Amino acid sequence: MSFPATASAVLAVGDAVPFRSPALDWHALAPEAVLVATAVVVLLVDLFTAERNKWLASTLSGLGLLGALVPVITLAVDGNTRSLFGGAYVVDDFALVMKALFLVAGYVTILLSTDYIGEGDYWEGEYYLLVVSSVLGMTLMASARDLITIFVALELLSIPAYLLAGWRKRELTGNEAGMKYYLMGVFASAVMLYGMSLVYGGTGTTVLAGIGRQVAGSFGATPVAALGIVFVLVGFGFKVSAVPFHNWAPDTYEGAPTPITAFLSVASKAAGFVAILQLIFVAFYGRDEVYGPMMWVLAALTMTVGNLIALRQTNVVRLFAYSSVAQAGFILAPLAVAGDSPAVADDAIRAVVSYLLIYTAMNLGAFAVILAVSRKTRSGELDSWGGLFEYAPGLTVLMTAFLFALAGIPPLGGWFAKFQVFKAVLGAGGASAYILAVVVAVNSVIALYYYANLARLMWFQSVPDGDRSPVRVPAAINLALALCVAFTVATGFFPGLVGHFGDAATDLVAVALRR
Amino acid sequence: MKDLLNDWGLTAATFLPVVGAVVMMVIPRAEETLHKLVALLTTLAVLAVGVALIASFDFDRTRTLQYVVDRSWIDVINSRYIVGVDGIALPLLALTVLIVPLVVIYSWNHFPEPHNPKAFLILILILETGMVGTFVAQDLILFFVFFEVVLLPMYFMIGVWGGEARQYAAIKFFLYTLFGSALMLVSFLAVYFLSPEVDVGGTMRHTFSMIELSDWAGAGLASTTALFVFGGMFMGFGVKVPIFPFHTWLPDAHTQAPTQGSVILAAVLLKLGTYGFVRIAIPILPEAAERWAPWIGLLAVIGIIYGALGCLAQTDMKRLIAFSSVAHMGYVMLGISTLTTFGINAAIFGMVAHGLITGMLFFVAGSVKDRYHTLEIKRLGGMLLQAPRLGWVLAFSCMASLGLPGLAGFWGEFPAILSAYNPAAGLNPAVYRTYMVVAAIGTILAAGYLLWLLQRVAFGTPREEFVGDDHDHGHGHDQAHALGQGDRTGSHALGHARIHDMHLTDYLAWAPMLLLIVALGVYPNLIFRVTDGAVVNSLTALGR
């Protein structure tokens, strides 16, 4: 076998050439640079401000995240695909769309956190520093086209998330959340690293495009390649909480501070999907008989198991934990058929990216309502939501919109997300695709039951404790709600908005097939 | 004016209710009269647009789509905003824009608990958008979106304003319909991918346009595939109709829904399903339709008999009417399953007639509930003595419903049965003639249960518990005085003053429906001449 020899040859060459600093495209790195600067500023400001001025950290980090959007937009206007570090770091439309998603999701998380963290007995400066760092990891992930870069980005986004998940350190559930998330995350990293080592050992390169060429060639046919692909994807299966790797999610979601739960269920999950997309479409595309069936099984299991367990939940956060597990199943479904043909691959990437964008808005919106309501009820039990319509009609209408958007009922945004999934899956054709489509259809109905059940409690039940005093919603949460509902409703009526971003993101596939 | 109507008429009819709903959202909840006025004016404006559309409809070209608007909507999937009406859609569109303002008028003083006219009327307006949109959409995805838009308002209407078991009924309605429509969407997508690409602005792309897809009509499609694809549509439309055995949501939803909800459900929502068969499933997949037809016919006649037997077993007036809906929709489906122009014309007539008549019956049932606070048939009786006008309206509606010649119900039922004598060429006449005999027996059962209902509710003497007892407390009573209405002289003489007769709002809301039932019964050509050409058109793919 020749590949160990190739690998050592690469190392040998690396040793011989003296290190020279690569040419840096600062424009391409500007979003990350802004985030790094923000993190540093937040840390310094926190050190030198009095207790009563700690709110500065929240404001500054929010501004920093929005500031990082500016270079993302200028890069998008510029339109050139920029490739740095020998193809290890690529700024294309796909990366920009996802970076924008992470930055906005991070900003909404900060909005949700402001009052929660300010009013609770928590450290503020560190909290925002960690959120910004995690978002930095995600924006890196969107551009990472190299195994090492992917791994670094993953750790950069995960390690702050482990800490944040355990932020309620005085409570047992908080400790459990952090610990469980950490152990599972590290375990997943280990599995993934093992897979990466197999892939690297076989191909002699860590750059995804290079791996893609080899996987399509003779190396792809070897069992080692299959093993490597499976292990790497399993690692990200943990990240996106795909069944059977989802066990950490409910406990972590329940124990973490609610804004962090929202962050994990949306941004962190999206980052996992970004990595999966890059790996599948750039590196592993030639082996669709390996990842295709794997994704098929993961998708079917994830949505079915997530939905069925969600039916039995009595705690609203756990309900949303399982609902987000199930939603991940819907997002995985197009990947099962992605290898069918370049046209289907395009459709699959459109579906995943559109789904992620819409899902982010609707899920963050739902968590914003949960936060607002729990400020009054101080309870996560579903029963405490009874009769919400009587004393908080505005929040009830918003929550109803988010719930039915998640269920995929037109004319709210979620229908287009589900629709794109159906379209990608059916576009592939063949018996297994049709069966998967029917599984998706049946699961949409199951999911409706628990979403509608929450709506039922809010609208049809009476208030359990008879307390009809209105819910006071802080300005920051109102802003978050407005952003989310505007996006959710607008995409329902004019799906072209999201469709356009999905279209732009297909340049990831184009790269893979250009070889 | 004509240009304006051509370009904006259908769009206005579809989205005016949403505009009204948005206006109402910003009006404070306490301004109840204002809410009612805004809702009424909005629905009347839609009615006015509808009348204008009918007035300038070219009745010589019923088979071509008119008022067509074709704009880009979701470019990524080449789904377009295409709306238009032809002779099939026009009667149903007219029915919808007529029924909704009548429901608003009826609601004026009849808001069910927990009251809240603001939310209630907003939901009705959103429903109207969904219903009108479904009948005018000519793009599968646009159709799907409108088809689903009606779900949420109806869910909340049943769940918030409904009867005892409202929560169960609401979620059952929702789950059944969603299950059907999820499979329907899969079928729409399958059609999208399996049909050939068409030229869109210079590039070849797949299309969701019903017009293009009807032209294609499943040519070159493997017959097994077509059967499955039709099956998905069958589930989506069949649950909505509802066809036996998917009908079980209907009695619950009807019984638990508030009167207004039942009326809209019976009058319009059920038609979305049958309309889907005529507009989408049959023209796009005619060959699969031919193979499915005998089975659809079988389920239709089972529905007729099952619905009738169900009626005979009911003790609740509203539930009885709900089961009669199952039976009547059976006739409509039987007409459709013959795949002949005669049968489908009859089916469309049956949809309109059923909408008017069953809508009327639910109105009466709601009024009975208002006055007697029960719908238990065995506790009612002697309505002709206590509230003679209401009693006669009930009698009239029952007669219309059982298919008395001269009233609208007859022209929905009789031609449907007749059409089964001679089904389309590919279908087995022997099977259909059996269906015909069974369906005819169904009409006898229908006469049985409706007359029995009438006899027990309207005839005889009033029960002791409703004599001289103030069962109509509250606003209704005072209202009758305030409006200078309430013809109660007859009942005064008999000493049954407490059950009052029809209100002004009842007269206003019911008169148009009663008049139409007579008018269509006497001159059925009002509808047949509109639908005939369009039906011929939609069956061209069958080669007949």
> Is B531 domain-assigned?
yes
Q: Is residue A512 very low, low, confident or very high in pLDDT (cuts 50, 70, 90)? A: low
Q: Which of A178, A181, A158 is nearest to A168 (CA)?
A: A178
A74 is a domain residue? yes
- Given an 8 Å threshold on Cβ–Cβ distance, is B182 in contact with A444? yes
Per-residue pLDDT band for A288 (boundaries 50, 70, 90) equals confident
A459/B159 Cβ within 8 A? yes
Per-residue confidence (pLDDT) for residue B474, from 0 to 100: 43
Q: Which two tokens mark B210? A: 């019903």
pLDDT at B111: 86
Q: How far apart are CA A388 and CA A308, in angstroms?
A: 26
Task: State yes or no: cis peptide before B114, omega within 30 of 0.
Answer: yes
Q: Which domain holds residue B421?
A: 291-536
Smallest Cβ–Cβ distance between B174 and the set A437, A442, A452 belongs to A452
CA distance A289 to A172: 44
- The CA distance from A279 to the nearest CA of chain B, in Å, is 25
Mean pLDDT of B408-434: 91
Residues 396-425 of A with CB under 8 A from B: 400, 404, 409-411, 415-416, 419, 422-423
Whether residue B17 has pLDDT greater than 70: yes
Q: Is B86 left (phi over 0), alpha (psi -120 to 50) or beta?
A: beta
Least confident of A73-87, A96-110, B81-95, B128-142: A73-87
Q: Which of A353-357, A412-416, B353-357 is the least confident region?
A: A412-416
What's the average model confidence in pLDDT over A11-22?
A: 63
Which residue of B116, B134, B189 is the best one to mutate when testing the A interface, meaning the one whose CB has the most A CBs within 10 A?
A: B189
| Chain B residues touching residue A438 (CB < 8 angstroms) | 183, 186
Confidence grade of residue B380 (pLDDT, cut at 50, 70, 90): confident
Report residue A480's pLDDT band, with 50, 70 and 90 as the boundaries: very high
pLDDT band at B326 (very low <50, low <70, confident <90, very high): very high
| CA of B539 vs chain A CAs: smallest distance (Å) | 28
Question: What is the model's pLDDT at position B473?
Answer: 44
Determine the pLDDT at residue B498.
Answer: 64
Residues of B in contact with A499 (CB under 8 A): 74-77
Does A298 score more than 50 pLDDT? yes
Q: Flag whether pLDDT at A49 surpasses 70.
A: yes
Amino acid A1: pLDDT = 41
pLDDT in the model for residue B47: 95
* Shortest alpha-carbon distance between residue A444 and chain B (Å): 8
> Is the pLDDT at A371 greater than 80, yes or no?
yes
In chain B the first and final C-alpha atoms are separated, in Å, by: 39
> What are the helix (H) ranges across B205-316?
210-216, 223-240, 249-256, 259-264, 270-276, 282-284, 286-312
Q: Which residue has the tokens 């997508």?
A: B189
Taking CB atoms and an 8 Å limit, are B171 and A456 in contact across chains? yes
* Residue position matching structure tokens 């510029």: A78
β-partners of residue B198 are B205
* pLDDT higher than threshold 50 for residue B476: no
Mean pLDDT (whole number) for A90-119: 92
Pull the structure tokens for residue A50. Answer: 């009095």
Q: Is the pLDDT of residue B265 over 60?
A: yes
Angle at A427 between CA A422 and CA A430, to 5 degrees: 105
Q: Which range scores top for mean pLDDT: A397-401, B183-187, B369-373?
A: A397-401
Q: Is residue A12 part of a domain?
A: no
Cis peptide leading into residue B251 (ω within 30°): no
Largest Cα separation within chain B, whole Å, is 79
User: Which residue among A423, A455, A496 sits closest to B189, beta carbon to beta carbon?
Assistant: A423
Place of tokens 């346009």: B209
Nearest to A409 among B151, B189, B228 (CB): B151
The token duo for A290 is 């390996």
Q: % helix / strand / coil in chain B, to the nearest 5?
A: 75, 5, 20
B-side interface with A, Cβ within 8 Å? 73-77, 141, 144-146, 148-149, 151-152, 155-156, 159-160, 166-167, 170-171, 174-175, 178-179, 182-183, 185-186, 189-190, 192-193, 228
Confidence of residue B227 (pLDDT cuts 50, 70, 90): very high
- The DSSP call for residue A387 is T
Q: Does residue A128 belong to any structural domain of this protein?
A: yes
A445 membership: H or E segment, kind and range: helix A431-460
Of A410, A426, A445, the CB nearest to B190: A426
pLDDT at residue B76, rounded to an integer? 81
CA-to-CA dists, residue B289 to A185, B210, B295, B339, angstroms: 54, 16, 10, 8
C-alpha B356/C-alpha B520 separation (Å) is 10
Calpha distance B289→B427 (Å, rounded): 11
Confidence category of residue A301, pLDDT binned at 50, 70, 90: very high
Give per-residue pLDDT as tens, A120-160.
Answer: 878 888 999 999 999 999 999 999 999 999 999 999 999 99
Q: Is the pLDDT of residue A387 over 80?
A: yes
In the predicted model, is pLDDT for residue B200 greater than 90?
A: no
Q: Name the pLDDT band for A431 (thresholds 50, 70, 90).
A: confident
Which helix H or strand E contains B345, and what residues bound it?
helix B341-372
For position B480, what pLDDT does the model report? 41
CA angle centred on A459, ends B362 and A476, rounded to 5°: 145
Model pLDDT, residue B482: 40
3-state secondary structure A300-342: HHHHHHHHHHHCCCCEHHHHHHHHHHHHHHHHHHHHHCCCCCH
Q: What residue in B sits closest to A389 (Cα-Cα)?
A: B160
Q: Residue A495 — pLDDT band, cuts 50, 70, 90?
A: confident
Contact state of B73 with A496 under an 8 Å Cβ cutoff: yes
When divided into structural domains, chain B yields a total of: 1
Residue type, B193: F
| Confidence at residue A169, expressed as pLDDT on a 0 to 100 scale | 85
Contact B541, B214 (CB under 8 A): yes
Residue by residue, DSSP assigns A80-137 as --EEEGGGTEEE-HHHHHHHHHHHHHHHHHHHHHHHHHHHTT--SHHHHHHHHHHHHH
Nearest to A499 among B74, B146, B155 (CB): B74
The phi and psi torsions of B474 (rounded to 5 degrees) equal: 95, -155
**Contact criterion met (CB < 8 Å) for B183 and A427:** no
Specify if B316 maps to a domain: yes
Domain containing A212 equals 25-514
A430 interfaces chain B, CB cutoff of 8 Å: no
> Span A325-336, mean pLDDT?
94
Q: Tell me whether residue A477 is exposed, middle or buried, using C-beta atoms within 10 angstroms of its C-beta: 0 to 12, 13 to 18, 19 or more.
A: buried
Q: Count chain A–chain B contacts defined by CB atoms under 8 A.
A: 90
Task: Tell me, rounded to whole angstroms, the distance of Cα B174 from its chain centroid.
Answer: 17
Q: Write down the mean pLDDT value for chain B.
A: 87
Q: What's the distance, Cα to Cα, between the start and end of chain A in Å? A: 25
Nearest C-alpha neighbor of B303 from the set B351, B350, B246 = B246
pLDDT band at A513 (very low <50, low <70, confident <90, very high): low
Which position has the token pair 């919808």?
B96
Residue B517 lies in a domain: yes
Question: How does residue B481 score in pLDDT terms, banded at 50, 70 and 90?
Answer: very low
Whether residue A14 lies inside any domain: the answer is no
Which of B73, B144, B186 faces A410 most closely, judged by CB atoms? B144
> Which residue, among B159, B162, B203, B82, has the nearest Cα to B369 in the 3D structure?
B162
B77 chain-A contacts, CB cut-off 8 A: 419, 423, 499
Q: Which of A349, A404, A456 to mutate to test the interface with B (most CBs of B within 10 A)?
A: A456
User: Mean of the pLDDT values across residues B254-281?
Assistant: 93
H or E element at residue A77: helix A55-78
Taking CA–CA distances from A449, the nearest residue in chain B reads B175
How many percent of chain A have pLDDT more than 90?
57
Q: How far are the Cα atoms of B352, B388, B472, B506 from residue B105, in angstroms, in the given order?
A: 20, 22, 20, 8
Question: What radius of gyration do chain A's Cα atoms show?
Answer: 22
pLDDT band at A511 (very low <50, low <70, confident <90, very high): low
Across B379-388, b (16+ Cβ under 10 Å) vs e yields ebbbbbbbbb
Contact residues on chain B for A410, CB-CB shorter than 8 A: 144-146, 148-149
Looking at the predicted structure, is the pLDDT value of residue A39 above 90? yes
Total tally of structural domains belonging to chain A: 1
**What's chain B's Rg over C-alpha atoms?**
23
- Tens digit of pLDDT for each residue in B123-146? 999 999 999 999 999 999 999 999
Contact flag B74-A456 (C-beta cutoff 8 Å): no
> Average pLDDT, stretch A29-39?
95
**Residue A245: both structure tokens together:** 């790797």
Question: Any CB–CB contact under 8 A between A495 and chain B?
Answer: yes
Determine whether the interchain pair A445/B152 forms a contact, defined as Cβ–Cβ distance below 8 Å.
Answer: no
Structural element, H or E, at residue B80 = strand B79-85
Q: Which residue of B has its CA nearest to A454?
A: B171
DSSP β-bridge partners for residue A83: A90
